[in-house]
Amino acid sequence: MTDLRSTLPARALAARDMAYAPYSKFRVGSALLTADGTVYTGCNVENASYGGAICAERTAVVKAVSEGHQKFTAIAVASDLTTFCSPCGICRQFMSEFGTDLEVIMVTTDGQTSIHTLDSLLPYSFGPKDL
Ligand SMILES: [Zn+2]
């Protein structure tokens, strides 16, 4: 059986190639592993109305939720940076809706990884527990 988690960095890098980023030229890809062993990839999709853009992480989460998944174990995020690409604040909040124990794997262009929990990236988060 393939260790799906170990495939996430490469899948995020591959998903990055699908990015639609004609304005920023900043391509990002993600690969999200669900608790039941499904992987959803995502890329950033920009818009001429700049505020309409969506990040790679949220693309993957939206794809997964729309297919019936709400429990996630890990997400890898990759860009064209040789340094680690960290999820933006909106994505941290968006992902925290489904659990702050999510493993966030930041990936460089040459495949190095830096691993964090979402809780460490978004401490004292506001979420479903607060409502
Ligand atoms: Zn983002």
Evaluate whether residue 44 is within a structural domain: yes
Evaluate whether residue 20 is within a structural domain: yes
Q: What is the pLDDT of residues 3-32, one digit of tens each?
A: 999 999 999 999 999 999 999 999 999 999
pLDDT band with cut points at 50, 70 and 90 for residue 1: very low
For position 89, which CATH number holds?
3.40.140.10
User: Which residues make up the environment of ion ligand 1, defined by Cβ < 5 Å?
Assistant: 55, 88, 91
Evaluate whether residue 103 is within a structural domain: yes
Residue that has been written with the tokens 């997400």 in this structure: 75
Ligand 1 centroid from CA 15, angstroms: 15
Evaluate whether residue 131 is within a structural domain: no
Residues 71 and 103 sit within 8 Å (Cβ to Cβ): no
Evaluate whether residue 130 is within a structural domain: no
Q: What is the pLDDT of residues 86-110, one digit of tens each?
A: 999 999 999 999 999 999 999 999 9
Residues 57 and 31 sit within 8 Å (Cβ to Cβ): no
**Burial class (CB within 10 angstroms; exposed 0-12, middle 13-18, buried 19+) of 50:** exposed
φ, ψ (nearest 5 deg) of residue 32: -110, 125
Residues spanned by the domain of 24: 4-125
Evaluate whether residue 63 is within a structural domain: yes
Binding-site residue set for Zn(2+)? 55, 88, 91
The answer to whether residue 57 is catalytic is yes
Ligand 1 centroid from CA 44, angstroms: 8
As for how many domains the chain has, the answer is 1
